Amino acid sequence: MKILVLGGDGYCGWPTSLHLSDAGHDVVIVDNFVRRQIDHELGVQSLTPVVGLTERLRAWRETGGRPVGLEVGDLLDWDFVAGLVERHRPEAVVHFAEQRAAPYSMISRGHAIYTQHNNVIGNLNVLFAINEFAPDCHLVKLGTMGEYGTPNIDIEEGFIEIEHNGRKDTLPYPKQPGSWYHLSKVHDSHNIMFACKIWGMRATDLNQGVVYGTVTPQTERNERLVNRFDYDEVFGTVLNRFCIQAAIGHPLTVYGEGGQTRGFLDIRDTVRCIELAIENPAERGEFRVFNQFTEKFSVRQLAGMVSDAAAKLGVETRIEKQPNPRVESEEHYYNAKHTRLLDLGLEPHYLSDALLDSLLNIAVKHRGRADLDAVNPRVDWRTGRRSLLEEVDEPAYPSTL
């Protein structure tokens, strides 16, 4: 198939692009490199050294990979998006190209507005371009399990059957997002569902859990193909943060009581889930939702697992609680369904198998690049400010590049 991977230079987009290329698809990466600009804004860097995208693509070709195309531009630029879809007439569009960090959206008013404007308007441009120039194209959009929040009932896959005053209906599952970022994803989901209803578009919304790992069979072929390892308090996941803390001899810092529970999956499963969605497309007019995760863990459980795994490497750790900078339930019910991708053939990788041979070893190998100040929480969700800074610079990324 001809596939556009929007945000193909990012953490999920890069290994997905290589995976789809390796599977024989004609892949074109679309990116504006804003994620790399945000590293400069925050004064952080990936723990793993990541080369430029052109160098990445050159390394991919040198290892025998199929050529991957590149289009540089911004989804907020309608002329660019329209021309992109009109030129390529893709059979599938994989959409990763959004600001993806909840803490980033909570830094300030400007960061919240940037996140919502970038994500919602960019996604709308993609919807209109597909409808106008490639109406049979299948949109595979990365959503988030965070759209659901932590309700005190089971979380279904996208929809729930409701009985009210003697009548029944199947409705979108109620959303309780916990950040301006997660709210932008809710808006995306509603807009995509509406596009399917009025235009007959075909779309799959992948509500993904927390992803871990850097290695796929493709990225390990050459060191220049390595994926990002974000560990900072804004873009780093709790699991990455624990791994780098263990590697540098810092206590594993648990926010609050540590009962916060979420779904998790290996990056190898992320790329496979995308492939499965593409190989089994939605019907015309169908808006379907897959909950994309394989296991669930609490923050306390993760800290214990990392501590035990580190001990096997001869690394001593200790776990400390610290005040939670986020506004979230620290003890809650969490039972989310996630069967539809398994039914399509997903064979999961599990966290216990990945820790020693991947995450901790990578953290230890590159710990000399770690910045401890970047790990400590500075974004206060209650005030909308990033502490330790006299002033917060608002993001000023151009709408076109």
Asked about 144 being catalytic, the answer comes back as yes
Which residues lie below 8 Å from residue 56, measured CB to CB, with a gap of 6+? 9, 14, 50, 224, 225
Q: Which of these is catalytic: 181, 231, 255, 334?
A: 181
Place of tokens 């000023």: 396
Asked about 333 being catalytic, the answer comes back as no
Q: Which of these is catalytic: 16, 48, 115, 144?
A: 144
Asked about 253 being catalytic, the answer comes back as no
3-state secondary structure of 24: coil
DSSP string of 274-307, one letter each residue: HHHHHHSPPPTT-EEEEEE-SEEEEHHHHHHHHH
DSSP 336: B
3-state secondary structure of 116: helix
Report which of 150, 122, 157, 117 is spatially closest to residue 32, judged by C-alpha positions: 122
- Whether 33 and 9 have beta carbons less than 8 Å apart is answered as yes
DSSP string of 231-270, one letter each residue: -STTT--HHHHHHHHHHTT--EEEETTS--EEEEEEHHHH
Q: Which of these is catalytic: 115, 150, 185, 334?
A: 185
Catalytic residue numbers, as ranges: 144, 181, 185
